[in-house]
A and B are shown apart, each in its own frame.
Chain A
Amino acid sequence: MKLTDILKEIESIQPETFENATGRRDILKNLGIKVAAFATPFAAASLLSNKASAKTTDILAEAIVFALSISYMQSALYTKALATSGLIPASAVNDFTKILKDKNSHVAYWKYQLQATNNIVPAQPTYDFTAKNALPKAMTDYGTFLTVAHAIEDVGVRVYLTAVNMLLSNKAFRTDAVNIATTNARHAAHVRMQRRNLGVDMMAWVVGTEPNSIVGEIKKAYQNEDNTTQLKINTVGINGFAISFNAATGAFDEPMTDTDAKIFMTPFID
């Protein structure tokens, strides 16, 4: 029996207990379920290679580890940036401090849930935000930093959309994931508008695959963001309204596959 089936049964029997976070943990503990099968040691690669062990790994734990992988990266980015003297202008320090606080909470929350359900918590990798010198000024030039930051924020939104979907069978966890997804979207919008304020022609939302504003490793954040079909319905010019490609793609963020996420994240991991 898969864990999702067990959870579903518990949910149908004790819906109130199950929806309560404490009750959820107790139930999982009492059943002694050990679901994640991530290889040790938890080098960076194992964090990103959970797909390989998908057959023996429960989908809920897999979703949480996937979400954690981008939250780890975000937390590390702002921790490092705020500690780098002269990178973030004084006027923006409060904003990035707030964002970092949220990211750290997301990391702590998922680590806690993995521990509480007897899953192994992957270690946080160390990062190189220059992506092996593809973006040499990532931590010295504010504009380059914002570019890296908005790409990582936009990927965060996309990874969480995938996590929401993977958490379908668990209402509490899926709600957690969607509530983090929209928080990440707020962060992404803010970072993008900071970059706009430096004179880059971009808005708070992602338009197509952003051909005009991206270079190198950043481009990988936007693979398959140019979807114009939602629920099998074409959104460009929908029902005769003057809806452009830009508006149609800007109206939705697209979930990111673990394959695409890995392509984006790997160059940034030491």
Chain B
Amino acid sequence: MKEVTTQDQTTHESASLSRRKFLNYAGVIAGAGLLIASCKKDDVQPTADDDTINLGSNDTGLLNYAYLLQQLEAAFYIQVLKTPYSGMTKTEEGIFTQIRDHEIVHRELLKNYLGTNGIPPTIENDWSSIDFSLKSSVMAKAKFFEEVSVAGLNGICRLVIAEEHLVTLAKMSVVDARHSAVINDLITPGTFAEKTDDNGFEVSQDPQSSIDITKKFFKKNITGINLPKY
């Protein structure tokens, strides 16, 4: 099997070549699979002790943060449908169900891809700030999680090295953006793109500040201290 280094240099040098292949054959991604397995000596592997989960370093760490975001979203929608608020319409239920399934696909894909480099698959959530019996509480958190996920995934896209990681994360992020638009419109019609800046750009977020927001929804402490920085 061909080993691929995750160093900037090599990846950048191969970008033009692999792009040709990409354009001719988009959807089939060359060289996937082994990138995250070939680590440098100074790589920090993800760890989980009793109190703290360290996401790790390099692309592996960034993918672990994407994995954590998708774990959070999937767990949230699973709970929303398990304990539906009173008066949930058929339309709302249908939307939540499809979004839940998308988030499960995202989560399980990253789980399988990361393999032994992944953080634990079921990190217990802290839902103490959510009242699942109240529509307003659920909607507000759905809006929040989708916006945080899109901003966070876009921030990760800025930092990842490997081509197949970039394109796969971007492919997930645009679907989370579709979710976000639908949830926003359900709450207030016409707010589908309210989070974009004055130039019509999504506002991406760096992993450090994103983790600061999302870690309170987990019962363990999460650290991304070894992640690449903006």
The interface of chain A, by Cβ under 8 A from chain B, is: 2, 4-5, 8, 12, 51, 54, 59, 94-95, 98-99, 101-106, 109, 157, 161-162, 164-166, 168-169, 171, 174-176, 178-190, 193, 203-205, 224, 227, 229-233, 235, 238-239, 241-244, 247-248, 250-260
Does B69 have its Cβ within 8 Å of any Cβ on chain A?
no
* CB pair A244 B201 closer than 8 Å: no
The answer to whether A189 and B202 touch (CB under 8 A), given A252-B171, A257-B26, is: no
Query: Closest residue to A12 on the B side, CB-wise?
Result: B8
**Of B25, B95, B108, which is within 8 A of A238 by CB?**
B108
Apart from A161-B171, A247-B102, what are 10 other A-B pairs with CB-CB below 8 Å?
Answer: A2-B16, A98-B190, A103-B200, A175-B158, A181-B174, A190-B181, A205-B102, A230-B109, A233-B113, A241-B105
Which of chain A's residues have a CB closer than 8 A to the CB of B101? 241-244, 247, 250-251
Query: Closest residue to A240 on the B side, CB-wise?
Result: B108
* CB pair B171 A253 closer than 8 Å: yes
Which of chain B's residues have a CB closer than 8 A to the CB of A229? 28
* CB pair A247 B98 closer than 8 Å: yes
Does B178 have its Cβ within 8 Å of any Cβ on chain A?
yes
The answer to whether A231 and B106 touch (CB under 8 A), given A8-B12, A183-B201, is: no
Query: Which of B50-58, B131-139, B162-170, B216-224 is found at the contact surface with chain A?
Result: B162-170
Q: List 13 A-B contacts (CB under 8 A).
A: A4-B12, A4-B15, A5-B13, A98-B193, A161-B170, A179-B203, A179-B204, A181-B177, A189-B185, A232-B33, A248-B105, A251-B102, A256-B26
* CB pair B26 A182 closer than 8 Å: no
Does B192 have its Cβ within 8 Å of any Cβ on chain A?
yes
**A101, A174, A252 — which one has the most chain B CB atoms within 10 A of its CB?**
A252
**Of B109, B150, B173, B180, which is within 8 A of A233 by CB?**
B109
Which of chain B's residues have a CB closer than 8 A to the CB of A5? 12-13
Instruction: State the main secondary structure of chain B at its contact with A.
Output: helix
Instruction: State the main secondary structure of chain A at its contact with B.
Output: helix
Which of chain A's residues have a CB closer than 8 A to the CB of B154? 175, 178-179, 182
Which of chain A's residues have a CB closer than 8 A to the CB of B178? 185-186, 188-189, 204-205
* CB pair B174 A161 closer than 8 Å: yes
A211–chain B nearest beta-carbon distance, Å? 18
**Of A175, A179, A243, which is within 8 A of B105 by CB?**
A243
10 tightest CB-CB pairs across the interface, nearest first?
A102-B200, A189-B181, A247-B101, A182-B177, A185-B177, A189-B178, A251-B102, A185-B174, A105-B200, A186-B181
Q: How many Å lie between the Cα of A233 and that of B23 in the bound state?
A: 21
The answer to whether A255 and B167 touch (CB under 8 A), given A231-B109, A233-B113, is: yes
